[in-house]
A = this chain, B = another copy of it.
């Protein structure tokens, strides 16, 4: 099966599109890489680029993008609403198909080392790629942001995982990590009572004692006048779509509320949906390579 890794680097430039385009061009110039999407946010002053491909090609594209970002972005002049510490702020690698999380962790660490050595930008490893447990959480890594980290990076507990303990004078520092794919999954309830959606969100999200890798909020969809549980599925293997859906259905039932439907926003790996089919059809002994398209990728 073809090995497919996704990479979603975030860059600290969201206003000068022509600058972001030069970074995107570096990614597109690498053979074996496919650009899926790029978006800028003015108030965040930040760009998010999504691309996929074979592991080595994705790693090379991420390096070239980080090198270009260090040339064209000056953190001394950067202001934006989103927390950030570097020109290339974060680079997560995400296993999509035929690739393990361990391979993505290796990619992150190899890239991190190269960025530190060749670009002289200090690198922190986060999420699954973290060397230190306290760095799994990106918010902890980025604490103080670019301005604060200028001082605190010299403290032993804030030393980078690769590179010298001082910020690059214009490109700051970069966090490189590995994480499972995230699926944006919303479930609409047959009620206009948002308090029910909020209660259900609490039941399923890890921070309130629900599924560890699920984030959820109850909100009102004003245009349809229905309450919605809006969910980030941060790991569809530990908390599959069908399980979260069934719990939402069961919790809604105690309030006499039905589930109207659901939606997936943006992209999802095929496996996340195939596992839903396996569950509801009670499929026994199904192997992913029985999916014709997977055989074609072999």
Contacts and interface: CB of A to CB of B under 8 A. Distances in A.
A291 B268 contact: yes
Interface string A43-59: 00000000010000000
Interface string A261-298: 11110111110011011101111111000111111111
Nearest to A37: B295
A4 interface: yes
Q: How many copies does the complex hold?
A: 2
A219 interface: no
B262 A34 contact: no
Contact of A52 (B36, B245, B292): B292
Interface in A224-246: 241-242, 245
Given A259-B282, A283-B261, A284-B263, A270 B242 contact: no
B293 A97 contact: yes
Contacts of A269: 291-293
24 contacts: A4-B296, A6-B292, A34-B295, A34-B298, A36-B295, A52-B296, A97-B292, A97-B293, A241-B277, A242-B280, A260-B282, A261-B282, A261-B283, A261-B284, A262-B283, A264-B286, A264-B290, A268-B290, A268-B291, A269-B291, A269-B292, A273-B278, A273-B291, A277-B277
